[in-house]
Copies of this chain bind each other. A is one copy, B any other.
Amino acid sequence: MVSSESLEMSLDLPPGWTEKYIGVNTRYVAEKESNTEMGAQALQSALNSAGMTIGDLDCLIAGAATFDHVIPNRSSLVKAAFEGAEWYDFPCVDINTVCTSFITALDYASLLLHVGSYETIAIVTSEISSKGIDPANTETYCLFGDCATAVILTQGENGGLIHHSQKTYSEGARNTIIEGGGNQFHPRDFPYEPSLYSFKMDGRKLLKIANQHLAEFIDIFFQSSSTDLQDVDWIVPHQASKLGLRMLCGLNGIEENKVINQLADYGNCIAASIPLALITSIEQGRVKENDTCFLIGTAAGMSISGLLFKYTTS
Protein backbone atom coordinates (compact mmCIF):
# COMPACT_ATOMS: atom_id res chain seq x y z
CA MET A 1 0.00 0.00 0.00
CA VAL A 2 1.31 3.42 -0.91
CA SER A 3 -0.02 6.44 0.95
CA SER A 4 -0.52 9.80 -0.67
CA GLU A 5 1.72 11.25 2.04
CA SER A 6 4.68 9.19 0.83
CA LEU A 7 3.88 9.94 -2.82
CA GLU A 8 3.77 13.65 -2.06
CA MET A 9 7.17 13.46 -0.38
CA SER A 10 8.76 11.55 -3.27
CA LEU A 11 7.19 13.78 -5.92
CA ASP A 12 7.83 17.01 -3.99
CA LEU A 13 4.13 17.89 -3.87
CA PRO A 14 2.58 19.98 -1.07
CA PRO A 15 1.09 17.87 1.75
CA GLY A 16 -2.61 17.20 1.12
CA TRP A 17 -2.36 17.91 -2.64
CA THR A 18 -3.35 14.36 -3.65
CA GLU A 19 -6.41 14.18 -1.42
CA LYS A 20 -7.55 17.64 -2.47
CA TYR A 21 -7.07 17.38 -6.24
CA ILE A 22 -7.05 13.64 -6.95
CA GLY A 23 -9.20 12.34 -4.10
CA VAL A 24 -6.99 9.33 -3.36
CA ASN A 25 -5.43 8.64 0.07
CA THR A 26 -4.06 5.13 -0.47
CA ARG A 27 -3.56 2.77 -3.40
CA TYR A 28 -1.97 -0.66 -3.78
CA VAL A 29 1.03 -1.22 -6.02
CA ALA A 30 2.17 -4.61 -7.30
CA GLU A 31 5.83 -4.92 -6.40
CA LYS A 32 6.70 -8.33 -7.78
CA GLU A 33 3.34 -9.88 -8.60
CA SER A 34 2.27 -10.28 -12.22
CA ASN A 35 -1.24 -9.72 -13.61
CA THR A 36 -1.43 -13.51 -13.90
CA GLU A 37 -0.42 -14.23 -10.28
CA MET A 38 -2.76 -11.56 -8.92
CA GLY A 39 -5.60 -12.85 -11.10
CA ALA A 40 -5.01 -16.45 -10.02
CA GLN A 41 -4.96 -15.41 -6.34
CA ALA A 42 -8.21 -13.50 -6.75
CA LEU A 43 -9.78 -16.48 -8.51
CA GLN A 44 -8.59 -18.90 -5.80
CA SER A 45 -10.10 -16.61 -3.18
CA ALA A 46 -13.43 -16.46 -5.07
CA LEU A 47 -13.42 -20.27 -5.45
CA ASN A 48 -12.80 -20.63 -1.69
CA SER A 49 -15.71 -18.31 -0.90
CA ALA A 50 -17.96 -20.30 -3.22
CA GLY A 51 -16.77 -23.66 -1.83
CA MET A 52 -15.52 -24.63 -5.28
CA THR A 53 -12.27 -25.72 -6.90
CA ILE A 54 -10.84 -24.77 -10.29
CA GLY A 55 -12.29 -28.01 -11.68
CA ASP A 56 -15.83 -26.75 -11.06
CA LEU A 57 -15.48 -24.03 -13.68
CA ASP A 58 -16.91 -24.42 -17.19
CA CYS A 59 -15.42 -21.23 -18.59
CA LEU A 60 -13.00 -18.47 -17.58
CA ILE A 61 -13.35 -14.94 -18.91
CA ALA A 62 -10.66 -12.33 -18.33
CA GLY A 63 -12.02 -8.82 -18.64
CA ALA A 64 -9.21 -6.29 -18.37
CA ALA A 65 -7.11 -3.67 -20.12
CA THR A 66 -3.58 -4.54 -18.92
CA PHE A 67 -1.74 -7.82 -19.39
CA ASP A 68 1.51 -9.65 -18.71
CA HIS A 69 2.30 -10.79 -22.24
CA VAL A 70 1.05 -9.75 -25.69
CA ILE A 71 0.43 -13.45 -26.46
CA PRO A 72 -1.26 -15.65 -25.18
CA ASN A 73 -4.42 -14.10 -23.77
CA ARG A 74 -4.78 -13.24 -20.07
CA SER A 75 -7.33 -15.91 -19.18
CA SER A 76 -5.20 -18.80 -20.50
CA LEU A 77 -2.31 -17.67 -18.30
CA VAL A 78 -4.52 -17.34 -15.21
CA LYS A 79 -5.86 -20.86 -15.73
CA ALA A 80 -2.36 -22.27 -16.29
CA ALA A 81 -1.19 -20.73 -12.99
CA PHE A 82 -3.32 -23.27 -11.11
CA GLU A 83 -1.71 -26.54 -10.07
CA GLY A 84 -3.18 -29.36 -12.10
CA ALA A 85 -4.66 -26.94 -14.67
CA GLU A 86 -3.79 -29.40 -17.45
CA TRP A 87 -6.46 -31.76 -16.06
CA TYR A 88 -9.22 -29.28 -16.90
CA ASP A 89 -10.00 -28.18 -20.43
CA PHE A 90 -12.56 -25.41 -19.84
CA PRO A 91 -12.20 -22.55 -22.32
CA CYS A 92 -10.43 -19.25 -21.63
CA VAL A 93 -11.58 -16.05 -23.35
CA ASP A 94 -10.52 -12.39 -23.01
CA ILE A 95 -12.89 -9.45 -23.33
CA ASN A 96 -11.63 -5.88 -23.52
CA THR A 97 -13.56 -2.65 -23.35
CA VAL A 98 -10.75 -1.13 -21.25
CA CYS A 99 -12.11 0.31 -17.95
CA THR A 100 -15.57 -1.23 -18.43
CA SER A 101 -14.28 -4.70 -19.36
CA PHE A 102 -15.89 -6.23 -16.26
CA ILE A 103 -19.32 -4.93 -17.31
CA THR A 104 -18.92 -6.34 -20.82
CA ALA A 105 -17.65 -9.66 -19.43
CA LEU A 106 -20.61 -9.82 -17.05
CA ASP A 107 -23.05 -9.28 -19.91
CA TYR A 108 -21.25 -11.90 -22.04
CA ALA A 109 -21.22 -14.43 -19.17
CA SER A 110 -24.92 -13.80 -18.51
CA LEU A 111 -25.69 -14.54 -22.16
CA LEU A 112 -23.65 -17.75 -22.06
CA LEU A 113 -25.45 -18.89 -18.89
CA HIS A 114 -28.82 -17.84 -20.32
CA VAL A 115 -28.49 -19.97 -23.46
CA GLY A 116 -27.00 -22.86 -21.46
CA SER A 117 -23.50 -22.88 -23.00
CA TYR A 118 -22.03 -23.19 -19.49
CA GLU A 119 -23.24 -23.58 -15.91
CA THR A 120 -20.39 -21.97 -13.96
CA ILE A 121 -18.32 -19.08 -15.28
CA ALA A 122 -15.54 -17.12 -13.57
CA ILE A 123 -14.63 -13.57 -14.50
CA VAL A 124 -11.13 -12.46 -13.54
CA THR A 125 -10.09 -8.82 -13.75
CA SER A 126 -6.44 -8.19 -12.97
CA GLU A 127 -4.96 -4.77 -13.57
CA ILE A 128 -1.46 -3.42 -13.05
CA SER A 129 -1.19 0.20 -14.10
CA SER A 130 1.81 1.08 -11.94
CA LYS A 131 4.38 -0.14 -14.48
CA GLY A 132 3.01 2.07 -17.24
CA ILE A 133 2.50 5.35 -15.40
CA ASP A 134 4.92 8.19 -15.68
CA PRO A 135 5.90 9.78 -12.32
CA ALA A 136 6.23 13.08 -14.20
CA ASN A 137 2.47 12.94 -14.86
CA THR A 138 1.30 13.57 -11.29
CA GLU A 139 -2.40 13.55 -12.21
CA THR A 140 -2.29 9.91 -13.30
CA TYR A 141 0.59 8.78 -11.06
CA CYS A 142 -1.37 9.68 -7.91
CA LEU A 143 -4.73 8.45 -9.27
CA PHE A 144 -4.16 4.81 -10.23
CA GLY A 145 -3.85 1.65 -8.13
CA ASP A 146 -3.24 -2.03 -8.91
CA CYS A 147 -5.89 -4.63 -8.14
CA ALA A 148 -7.24 -8.05 -9.12
CA THR A 149 -10.75 -9.37 -8.58
CA ALA A 150 -12.68 -12.50 -9.44
CA VAL A 151 -16.36 -13.39 -9.38
CA ILE A 152 -18.11 -16.68 -10.06
CA LEU A 153 -21.47 -16.80 -11.78
CA THR A 154 -23.98 -19.62 -11.96
CA GLN A 155 -27.43 -19.85 -13.48
CA GLY A 156 -29.81 -18.97 -10.63
CA GLU A 157 -33.53 -19.27 -10.15
CA ASN A 158 -34.06 -15.59 -9.53
CA GLY A 159 -31.88 -12.58 -10.06
CA GLY A 160 -29.27 -11.99 -12.68
CA LEU A 161 -29.05 -9.57 -15.57
CA ILE A 162 -31.87 -7.07 -16.00
CA HIS A 163 -30.45 -4.76 -18.65
CA HIS A 164 -27.15 -3.86 -20.32
CA SER A 165 -26.08 -1.14 -22.69
CA GLN A 166 -22.85 0.22 -24.12
CA LYS A 167 -22.28 3.21 -26.38
CA THR A 168 -18.97 4.23 -27.95
CA TYR A 169 -18.42 7.93 -28.65
CA SER A 170 -15.62 8.22 -31.15
CA GLU A 171 -14.84 11.90 -30.54
CA GLY A 172 -12.93 10.70 -27.47
CA ALA A 173 -11.22 7.72 -29.12
CA ARG A 174 -7.67 8.97 -28.60
CA ASN A 175 -7.99 10.95 -25.37
CA THR A 176 -6.93 7.97 -23.24
CA ILE A 177 -4.04 6.08 -24.76
CA ILE A 178 -0.92 3.97 -24.25
CA GLU A 179 0.68 4.58 -27.62
CA GLY A 180 3.55 2.10 -27.55
CA GLY A 181 3.72 -1.65 -27.02
CA GLY A 182 1.75 -2.66 -30.10
CA ASN A 183 2.41 -2.32 -33.82
CA GLN A 184 2.24 1.48 -34.12
CA PHE A 185 5.25 2.04 -31.89
CA HIS A 186 6.70 -1.42 -31.60
CA PRO A 187 9.16 -1.85 -28.71
CA ARG A 188 11.68 -3.37 -31.15
CA ASP A 189 11.67 -0.14 -33.16
CA PHE A 190 11.38 2.48 -30.39
CA PRO A 191 13.65 1.34 -27.57
CA TYR A 192 14.71 4.78 -26.35
CA GLU A 193 11.37 6.51 -25.82
CA PRO A 194 9.94 5.37 -22.46
CA SER A 195 7.22 8.03 -22.54
CA LEU A 196 5.67 6.14 -25.48
CA TYR A 197 4.91 3.26 -23.13
CA SER A 198 3.20 5.42 -20.53
CA PHE A 199 -0.46 6.04 -19.99
CA LYS A 200 -1.74 9.39 -21.27
CA MET A 201 -5.12 10.87 -20.49
CA ASP A 202 -6.75 14.18 -21.33
CA GLY A 203 -8.88 14.25 -18.19
CA ARG A 204 -10.56 17.54 -18.98
CA LYS A 205 -11.63 16.49 -22.47
CA LEU A 206 -12.90 13.13 -21.16
CA LEU A 207 -14.97 14.79 -18.44
CA LYS A 208 -16.44 17.13 -21.05
CA ILE A 209 -17.48 14.23 -23.31
CA ALA A 210 -18.84 12.24 -20.36
CA ASN A 211 -20.79 15.29 -19.27
CA GLN A 212 -22.30 15.59 -22.75
CA HIS A 213 -23.52 12.00 -22.88
CA LEU A 214 -23.87 10.48 -19.40
CA ALA A 215 -27.26 11.90 -18.38
CA GLU A 216 -28.84 10.90 -21.70
CA PHE A 217 -27.21 7.46 -21.54
CA ILE A 218 -28.71 6.82 -18.10
CA ASP A 219 -32.10 8.19 -19.18
CA ILE A 220 -32.31 5.88 -22.19
CA PHE A 221 -30.89 2.96 -20.19
CA PHE A 222 -33.75 3.09 -17.68
CA GLN A 223 -36.36 3.81 -20.35
CA SER A 224 -35.36 0.45 -21.89
CA SER A 225 -35.22 -1.37 -18.56
CA SER A 226 -38.00 -2.93 -16.50
CA THR A 227 -36.63 -1.25 -13.35
CA ASP A 228 -36.63 2.48 -12.62
CA LEU A 229 -33.52 4.33 -11.51
CA GLN A 230 -35.14 5.32 -8.20
CA ASP A 231 -35.77 1.64 -7.42
CA VAL A 232 -32.10 0.73 -7.80
CA ASP A 233 -30.51 -0.13 -4.44
CA TRP A 234 -26.86 0.51 -5.28
CA ILE A 235 -24.99 2.39 -7.95
CA VAL A 236 -21.53 0.92 -8.47
CA PRO A 237 -19.55 3.29 -10.69
CA HIS A 238 -16.11 2.99 -12.20
CA GLN A 239 -13.86 4.89 -9.79
CA ALA A 240 -12.53 6.99 -12.65
CA SER A 241 -11.71 10.21 -10.81
CA LYS A 242 -12.91 12.52 -8.04
CA LEU A 243 -14.55 14.87 -10.53
CA GLY A 244 -16.07 11.99 -12.48
CA LEU A 245 -17.69 10.54 -9.37
CA ARG A 246 -18.90 13.97 -8.30
CA MET A 247 -20.47 14.54 -11.73
CA LEU A 248 -22.35 11.22 -11.53
CA CYS A 249 -23.86 12.06 -8.15
CA GLY A 250 -25.49 15.15 -9.57
CA LEU A 251 -27.12 13.43 -12.55
CA ASN A 252 -30.63 12.10 -13.13
CA GLY A 253 -31.57 12.44 -9.46
CA ILE A 254 -28.93 9.87 -8.41
CA GLU A 255 -28.80 9.81 -4.59
CA GLU A 256 -25.24 10.09 -3.32
CA ASN A 257 -25.83 7.66 -0.43
CA LYS A 258 -26.54 4.89 -2.96
CA VAL A 259 -23.27 5.45 -4.83
CA ILE A 260 -20.34 3.21 -3.84
CA ASN A 261 -17.29 5.48 -3.66
CA GLN A 262 -13.96 3.93 -2.63
CA LEU A 263 -11.70 6.11 -4.75
CA ALA A 264 -9.92 7.41 -1.64
CA ASP A 265 -8.93 3.90 -0.52
CA TYR A 266 -7.89 2.20 -3.77
CA GLY A 267 -7.59 4.82 -6.52
CA ASN A 268 -8.66 4.10 -10.09
CA CYS A 269 -7.98 0.38 -10.66
CA ILE A 270 -8.94 0.40 -14.37
CA ALA A 271 -11.44 -2.44 -15.05
CA ALA A 272 -10.98 -3.85 -11.54
CA SER A 273 -12.55 -0.78 -9.91
CA ILE A 274 -16.17 -1.79 -10.52
CA PRO A 275 -15.89 -5.44 -9.37
CA LEU A 276 -13.75 -4.35 -6.38
CA ALA A 277 -16.42 -1.83 -5.32
CA LEU A 278 -19.11 -4.49 -5.78
CA ILE A 279 -17.27 -7.27 -3.92
CA THR A 280 -16.22 -4.96 -1.07
CA SER A 281 -19.80 -3.75 -0.68
CA ILE A 282 -21.09 -7.33 -0.55
CA GLU A 283 -18.42 -8.30 2.01
CA GLN A 284 -19.24 -5.25 4.12
CA GLY A 285 -22.91 -6.23 4.11
CA ARG A 286 -23.99 -3.09 2.27
CA VAL A 287 -25.12 -4.91 -0.90
CA LYS A 288 -27.52 -7.65 0.25
CA GLU A 289 -29.37 -10.60 -1.28
CA ASN A 290 -31.95 -9.45 -3.84
CA ASP A 291 -30.50 -5.92 -4.04
CA THR A 292 -30.57 -4.31 -7.46
CA CYS A 293 -27.18 -2.94 -8.56
CA PHE A 294 -26.45 -0.56 -11.40
CA LEU A 295 -22.88 -0.79 -12.67
CA ILE A 296 -21.89 2.27 -14.69
CA GLY A 297 -18.60 3.44 -16.12
CA THR A 298 -16.70 5.29 -18.78
CA ALA A 299 -13.82 3.72 -20.66
CA ALA A 300 -11.06 4.62 -23.09
CA GLY A 301 -12.36 4.38 -26.62
CA MET A 302 -14.47 6.34 -25.46
CA SER A 303 -17.38 4.26 -24.18
CA ILE A 304 -20.06 4.40 -21.53
CA SER A 305 -21.34 1.05 -20.26
CA GLY A 306 -24.17 0.29 -17.86
CA LEU A 307 -25.44 -2.99 -16.47
CA LEU A 308 -28.35 -3.56 -14.10
CA PHE A 309 -28.67 -6.82 -12.20
CA LYS A 310 -30.26 -8.35 -9.14
CA TYR A 311 -27.74 -9.87 -6.75
CA THR A 312 -28.62 -13.34 -5.51
CA THR A 313 -26.55 -16.22 -4.19
CA SER A 314 -29.11 -18.90 -4.91
Residue-wise, chain A 168-185 has the 8 Å CB interface mask toward B (1 for contact) of: 111101101111111110
User: In the assembled complex, which residues on chain B have CB atoms less than 8 Å from the CB atom of A95?
Assistant: 93-96
The listed residue (B94, B164, B189, B301) touching A76 by CB distance below 8 A is B301
Which of A96, A128, A183, A198 has the most chain B CB atoms inside 10 A of its CB? A183
The reply to whether A183 and B80 contact each other, CB–CB distance below 8 Å, is no
**Prevailing SS type, chain A contact patch:** mixed
Name the distance in Å between A59's Cβ and chain B's nearest Cβ. 8
Closest to A71 in B: B178
**A96-B73, A169-B89 known; A174 vs B68 contact (CB < 8 Å):** no
Instruction: List chain B residues, Cβ under 8 A from A76.
Output: 98, 168, 170, 173, 300-303
Which residues of A from 74 to 101 have beta carbons under 8 Å from B?
A: 75-77, 79-80, 82, 85-86, 88-98
Across-interface contacts of A79 in B (CB, < 8 A) = 168, 170, 173
A167 & B90 in contact (Cβ 8 Å cutoff): yes
Contact mask A93-116 → B, CB, 8 Å, 1/0? 111111000001000100110110
Complex: chain B residue closest to A167, CB-CB = B89
Taking a contact as CB atoms under 8 Å apart, the answer to whether B128 and A183 are in contact is: yes
Least CB distance from A211 to B in Å reads: 15
**Chain B residues within 8 Å of A75, by CB:** 168, 301
Q: State the Cβ distance, A102 to closest chain B Cβ, in Å.
A: 13
> What are 21 A-B interface contacts by the 8 Å CB criterion?
A30-B183, A34-B184, A66-B70, A68-B183, A69-B181, A72-B98, A72-B176, A72-B299, A72-B300, A73-B300, A86-B170, A91-B97, A91-B168, A92-B303, A93-B166, A108-B108, A117-B164, A131-B189, A181-B182, A188-B197, A191-B191
In the A-B complex, list the 4 residue pairs whose CB atoms are closest, starting with the nearest: A76-B301, A80-B173, A91-B166, A85-B170
User: Which residues of A line the B interface, CB within 8 A?
Assistant: 30, 34-35, 60, 65-73, 75-77, 79-80, 82, 85-86, 88-98, 104, 108, 111-112, 114-115, 117, 128, 131-132, 164, 166-171, 173-174, 176-184, 186-189, 191-192, 194, 196-199, 213, 299-303, 305
